[in-house]
Amino acid sequence: MEKFQEIRWRNLKSGFNQDLRCEDVLFDIYVPKRAPLYNLLVLPGWSYHRRRWIKETRLVSFAEKNRFLLILPEMGKTLYESQYFPETNLRWNRIPGGLFLKNHLFPLLQEKFALLTPSQGNFLLGLSTGARGVVLTALENPGLFAGAAALSGDYDQMMMPEDKLMAAVYGQIEFFPERWSGRDNPLQRAAQWRLPLFLGHGKLDTVIPPVQTLSFYEELRKKMKVKAPLVYFEDPKGRHDFPYWDNQLPLIFSFFAHIEGRSWIRSLQNFSFDNQKSLYSESGYAQSVSKREFKKEMSAYIKPFFPSV
């Protein structure tokens, strides 16, 4: 991996830059106190306000510590679709969510703020529907991002044929199966995946079943044609909530730090072991389990995959 270009942003101030606008969509940018080294596009959950990531996790603290500039768009009720259809009756905006990011927000960030250019260190982070958005955004913008983290996401709508939100965008599965299994199905595009990826899910999640993430991880292992590391961590105590998502941040930022260097494959081989101590102390696990129990859980539930080189 080549060294990233220094981020020399413009038309912004340090700290929060709120209620910026692209078309009719609001977004925020957080600039850390020290000169940022990386950009992080942060995608919210379904109908979650963009600032919930900020208000309900330690994301800003980790961004400051690791010198990440945060980009937080208000994505509302989008499935990050690539297009609408005659049967679509759920439109988050006049522009489909995936196209809005690619053709509107990203060019604005590049031209007005000198952010998210291909030569910079660009990363993705998302939760729930935003995790789905992370994967689709990376696939639709090859060469733009260096790594990604996706938590509690759904990646194969074919596994949930009764899903009313999917039907509202793509039409009923029995009439339009090719839409459900096509361009907007992350699992079906596993062979196109190119990036280091951290996948996480809470074992106690009752909103999106963990099998969604595990199946995607296993499909990536089988189909990926590029040598990029994957990490899957199923938290045995994790639910579909902000305490779980907050607890994953130490591990995610450590993952990002590992993949920044040129020797990322070699360094990541010790990833799960190197980070047990820091994850235990920086997360909320110390409140509920002993270090010995935590180490046992990490060994049982984290599944790193490192392609041979």
Q: How far apart are alpha carbons 155 and 184 in whole angstroms? A: 9
- So what's the pLDDT on residue 4? 77
Lowest model confidence (mean pLDDT) among 66-80, 181-195, 220-234, 235-249: 220-234
Q: How far apart are alpha carbons 122 and 15 in whole angstroms? A: 19
Q: For the chain, give the mean pLDDT.
A: 88
* pLDDT-derived band at 115, boundaries 50, 70, 90: very high
- So what's the pLDDT on residue 291? 59
Lowest model confidence (mean pLDDT) among 119-123, 182-186, 220-224, 285-289: 285-289
- So what's the pLDDT on residue 14? 96
Give which of 213, 286, 206 is closest to 238, Cα–Cα: 206
- So what's the pLDDT on residue 5? 74
Lowest model confidence (mean pLDDT) among 73-77, 78-82, 157-161, 299-303: 299-303
- So what's the pLDDT on residue 303? 66
Contact between 186 and 156 (Cβ < 8 Å): yes
Looking at per-residue pLDDT, the higher value among 279 and 119 belongs to 119
Model confidence at 116: pLDDT above 60? yes
Tens of pLDDT along 42-82?
Answer: 999 999 999 999 999 999 999 999 999 999 999 999 999 99
Model confidence at 287: pLDDT above 80? no
Question: Kind of pairing, strands 147-151 and 25-31?
Answer: unpaired
Q: Which CATH architecture has domain 15-305?
A: 3-Layer(aba) Sandwich (3.40)
pTM: 0.88
Tens of pLDDT along 198-223?
Answer: 999 999 999 999 999 999 999 999 99
Lowest model confidence (mean pLDDT) among 19-28, 140-149, 195-204, 280-289: 280-289
Lowest model confidence (mean pLDDT) among 20-24, 43-47, 268-272: 268-272
Any idea where the domains of the chain sit in the sequence?
Answer: 15-305
Contact between 124 and 40 (Cβ < 8 Å): yes
